[in-house]
Homo-oligomer: A and B are copies of this chain.
Amino acid sequence: MTSPRTTTSYALLGLLGLRDWTTYELARQVQRSLHWFWPRAERKLYDEPKRLVADGLATATSGSTGKRPRTVYGITDAGRTELARWLDEPSAARSSEFEALVKVFFADAGTLDQLRTTLDRIVAESVQRVSDLADNVDVGVADPAFPTRMHLNALAVRLQVEQELTVLRWARWARAQVDSWPSVHEPDDWDATGSLATLVAECRAAVG
Contacts from A to B (Cβ < 8 Å): 7, 10-11, 14, 17, 33-34, 37-39, 80, 83-84, 86-88, 90-111, 114-115, 117-118, 121, 125, 127, 129-131, 133-134, 137-138, 140-141, 148-159, 161-170, 173-174, 177-178, 181, 185-187, 190, 192-193, 195-197, 199-200, 202-204, 206-207
Task: Tell me, rounded to whole Å, the shortest Cβ–Cβ distance linking A41 to chain B.
Answer: 11
Q: Contact: A98 with B207, CB < 8 Å? A: no
Q: Contact: B38 with A97, CB < 8 Å? A: yes
With a cutoff of 8 Å between Cβ atoms, the chain B residues found around residue A161 in the complex are 199, 202-203
The 10 closest A-B pairs by CB, nearest first: A96-B96, A14-B106, A151-B187, A134-B203, A91-B100, A154-B192, A87-B110, A91-B99, A151-B192, A37-B98
- The contact of A97 among B80, B94, B101, by CB within 8 Å, is B94
Task: Tell me, rounded to whole Å, the shortest Cβ–Cβ distance linking A114 to chain B.
Answer: 4
Q: Contact: B109 with A100, CB < 8 Å? A: no
Q: Contact: A203 with B110, CB < 8 Å? A: no
Task: Tell me, rounded to whole Å, the shortest Cβ–Cβ distance linking A26 to chain B.
Answer: 14
With a cutoff of 8 Å between Cβ atoms, the chain B residues found around residue A103 in the complex are 86-87, 91
Q: Contact: B105 with A14, CB < 8 Å? A: yes
Name the residue on B nearest A168 (C-beta): B206
Once bound together, how far apart are the Cα atoms of A204 and B127, in whole Å?
Answer: 10
Task: Tell me, rounded to whole Å, the shortest Cβ–Cβ distance linking A89 to chain B.
Answer: 8
- The contact of A153 among B118, B121, B192, by CB within 8 Å, is B192
With a cutoff of 8 Å between Cβ atoms, the chain B residues found around residue A100 in the complex are 91, 94
Once bound together, how far apart are the Cα atoms of A111 and B104, in whole Å?
Answer: 44
With a cutoff of 8 Å between Cβ atoms, the chain B residues found around residue A11 in the complex are 102, 106
With a cutoff of 8 Å between Cβ atoms, the chain B residues found around residue A127 in the complex are 207
- The contact of A130 among B169, B178, B186, B206, by CB within 8 Å, is B206
Once bound together, how far apart are the Cα atoms of A200 and B134, in whole Å?
Answer: 5
